[in-house]
Structure 1
Amino acid sequence: MLNRRIFTALLAGAMAATPLAMAGTASAQDMTKVTFVQPSPSAINSFNVFVAIGEGYFAEEGLDVSVEAINGSGAVLQALSSGQAQFGRPGPGPVLAARSRDVDVVFIYNFAARSNFGIVVPEASEIQAPEELKGKVVGTGTADGAEVGFARNVLSGSGLEEGTDYTFLTVGDGGPAVAAFSQDAIAAYSSSTADAAILNQRGQAVRDITPPEYARFFGNGFATTGELIRNDPELVEKFVRAIHKGHVFALDDANRDKVLEHMATGNPQESEDRDFAAALFDAVRSKTVPVDQSKGLGYQPPEVWEEWQEVQVTGGEMAEPLAELTEAYTNDFTMKVNGSAQ
């Protein structure tokens, strides 16, 4: 079951008195209710969703979007496959592993276009590279989240084998991760951009030892089910169009203050420290700009999907490659909306 509701966008009511609503937004009874699940409570990590809510982009598409926070990509995929949600933001590794188990989930928008994960160590640690983690314990936020697959990829690329040369320990994020470092329970931590910023804010200064070549491994993005794509492609296109507009809006520095307001509405606690929230947003936002911008926002490079699959097979999350890797993702919707919000 979905375990924590952090924000519900009752857009029809909220927008009823605004110029946007009077310009032709669907009435409440005409709105299509949609649930979006994210792998953590952070509004900053899903900033384009909260911008799309606050700026009325979902309402323009006739969508009434509720946001649910659950724990990790595995839970996101479970919510999608069980019909509890229509859209989610899982990592590519968990998506491939799920498809190898015949879970009909499909990646539809590449949001963290540059890797938003890294292996970090305490600033004072003598460890300078992943291969020096031999015989060590590496902490993770969740047991099956995208950060686990990413760390396994980096460590295997450094010649280390899980269970033989190192072990993972699920310690959670934020305070629990700080405690794990202070108690020497972990020597390193596989963190997202947000996790690293939180650790530094809470007094656990860390530095990233991830080799630069791993930046191409995109992180969490938006997914839905193959069934929804087949049965209601128009709904999927509407959702993608709205988050794309939110993404474009948020990348414009002129809109920065409004974006920060929308994220504070989505998760007030996260934005209590305005300066920290602003710095964290800048860090997260930078990871969503594609290395190759010629295809537009949201595009998924097929060659990186091939690399992700190789990582999953090598790491044991998949017994063998998928018969049709291209069924795990589609660029159709992003190609349709790219440019429409420019």
Structure 2
Amino acid sequence: MITRRTFAAAALASVSALGLLGGAATAQDLRDITFVQPSPSAINSFPVFVAIGEGYFEEEGLNVTVEAINGSGAVLQALSAGQAHFGRPGPGPLLAARSRGVDAVHIYNVAARSNFGIAVPQDSEIQSVEELKGKVIGTGTADGAEVGFARNVMTGANMSEGADFEFLTVGDGGPATAAFMNGEIAAYSSSTADTAILNQRGMAVRDITPVEFGRFFGNGIATMAETIENDRDLVEAWSRAFAKGHAFALDDANREAVLAHLAAGNPQEGEDKEFQSALFDAVRSKTIPTDDSKHLGWYPAEVWKEWEDALVKGGEISGPLDDLSAAWTNEFAEIGNAAVGE
């Protein structure tokens, strides 16, 4: 059975082994750091696993341990508690956390194109999000990035949670399929990976998200402002290695090596080679910068403002942040791209 969360045990064991083998000769010289991701999928965090496999982190003196936890909210909690150095939360949860005093900062725009969408069964009569009025929308987690994205879309259709629609946390994979089949949900707010898994499991779905929401970037790399201030060398080293992993994976000449690194990071994902390849293509396509982007990992300020406006309108934050620009920076993406040679 393929779900995001059943990958966890195999993924963590493999990542631990990669760290030990990759740095065996100079283990005493490597700094141990932790990266937390909101699902166990290696494909969703492919630049990290490629950077591990190609030795880019080791070149920077880093031994990276990857830990999978449940959703962006948990990622931000781990960062703020000092349990991880870097994570991959969504922009909505990050802004909501900052409104509560969590000083987390996005430093690299991984999902430059929206990696979320609202899906309905292929044979559903529903053709638009406006037709979801009075319906229940399923989500994988209670506070993950997919929730903020769906609330954003529904707010854009002049609908509010509780009055016009409801969210129901159903999980992903098999539980999401069951929720559709049992009539518990009419639609599902899903990531690119979730949609691929549903289709792979025989639950054919189609995306009804309005096209204008494609510019709303998704999950990115985040760290704490304190880390940037007090441990800048670490953030720069991470950024160089991560950008190299991202660029390596975008080159089709490296495809075989990339898929091997991802299978090493999560063996269960690599069991079905055809599915792994298709899912990688889908996820990778969301990380390719939009036409107006300067380079890999770059954030457009105007979309951050649109994210903030949507969160205020949807009631996720009480009002605009005191300093929205403090929530993100492009300086480390610049450093990473310089290392790549772009």
Q: TM-score range by the shorter chain?
A: over 0.9
Contact 2:239 2:333 in 1 (8 A): yes
Counterpart position of 2:313: 314
State whether residues 181 and 187 of structure 1, in contact with CA within 8 Å, keep that contact through their aligned partners in structure 2.
Answer: yes
Is 1:234 aligned with 2:248? no
Alpha-carbon distance between aligned partners in 1 of 2:297 and 2:108, rounded to the nearest angstrom: 5
Q: 2:285 matched to 1:286?
A: yes
Aligned twin of 2:200: 201
Shift of 1:85: 0.4
Q: Which residue does 1:164 correspond to in 2?
A: 163
SS in 2 for 1:203: coil
Letter of the 2:334 counterpart: M
Cα deviations by residue, 1:277-321 (Å, 9 ceiling, x for unpaired): 100000000000011365110001111100011111111111111
Opposite residue 46 of structure 1, the aligned amino acid is: S
How far has the Cα of 1:15 moved from its partner?
Answer: 3.2
Matched, 1:14 2:55: no
Question: How many angstroms apart in 2 are the aligned matches of 1:97 and 1:248?
Answer: 30
Q: Decide whether the 8 Å contact of 1:9 with 1:53 is kept in 2.
A: no
| Distance (whole Å) between structure 1 residues aligned to residue 191 and residue 201 of structure 2 | 15
Unaligned stretches of 5+ residues in structure 2? 1-7
State the partner residue of 2:83: 84
Give 5+ residue unaligned stretches, structure 1.
Answer: 22-26
**Corresponding residue SS for 2:269:** helix
Aligned partners of 1:43 and 1:50 also within 8 Å: yes
| Contact 2:108-2:222 within 8 A present in 1 as well | yes
Report the Cα distance in structure 2 between the residues aligned to 1:214 and 1:292, rounded to whole angstroms: 15
Whole-Å Cα distance in 2 between the matches of residues 154 and 294 of structure 1? 23
Amino acid at match of 1:228: T
Q: Do the aligned partners of 2:23 and 2:30 also contact (CA within 8 Å) in 1?
A: no
Counterparts in 2 of 1:165 and 1:294: CA distance versus 1, 3 Å: closer
C-alpha distance after superposition, 1:4-25 (max 9, x if no partner): 66333466742368xxx7xxxx
Partner of 1:243: 242
Amino acid at match of 1:65: V
TM, length-normalised to structure 1: 0.94
Equivalent residue number for residue 267 of structure 1: 266
SS of residue matched to 1:270: coil
Structure 1 runs, 4 residues or longer, greater than 2 Å off: 4-13
* CA apart distance, 1:96: 0.2
Q: Partner amino acid for 2:238?
A: F
Matching residue of 1:182:
181
The answer to whether residue 286 in structure 2 is matched with residue 304 in structure 1 is no
Share of identical aligned residues, percent?
68
Distance 1:32 1:121, change over 3 A: same
Q: Against the structure 1 CA distance between its residues 293 and 245, is the aligned structure 2 distance closer, same or farther, given a 3 Å change threshold? A: farther
Aligned-partner Cα distance in 1 for 2:84–2:277? 29
Distance in 2 (alpha carbons) for counterparts of 1:154 and 1:333: 30
Measure how far apart 1:30 and its partner are. Answer: 1.3
1:286 maps to amino acid = S
Provide the residue aligned with 1:45 in structure 2: 44
Contact kept, 8 Å, 2:23 with 2:58, in 1: the verdict is: no
1:129 maps to 128
Q: State the distance in 1 between where 2:85 and 2:138 align.
A: 31
Partner of 1:148: 147
In 2, distance between residues paired with 1:324 and 1:260? Answer: 40
Structure 2 counterpart of 1:14, one-letter code: L
- The TM-score, its normalising length taken from structure 2, stands at 0.94
Shift of 1:271: 1.6
Moved more, 292-301 or 263-272: 292-301
State whether residues 142 and 171 of structure 1, in contact with CA within 8 Å, keep that contact through their aligned partners in structure 2.
yes
* Inter-partner Cα distance in structure 1 for 2:204 and 2:45: 25
SS of 1:271's equivalent in the other structure is: coil
Q: CA deviation at 1:161?
A: 1.4
Structure 2 distance, partners of 1:180, 1:43, is 26
Counterpart Cα distance in 2 of 1:233 and 1:16: 22
Alpha-carbon distance between aligned partners in 2 of 1:261 and 1:83, rounded to the nearest angstrom: 31
Counterpart code for 2:80: S
RMSD: 1.5
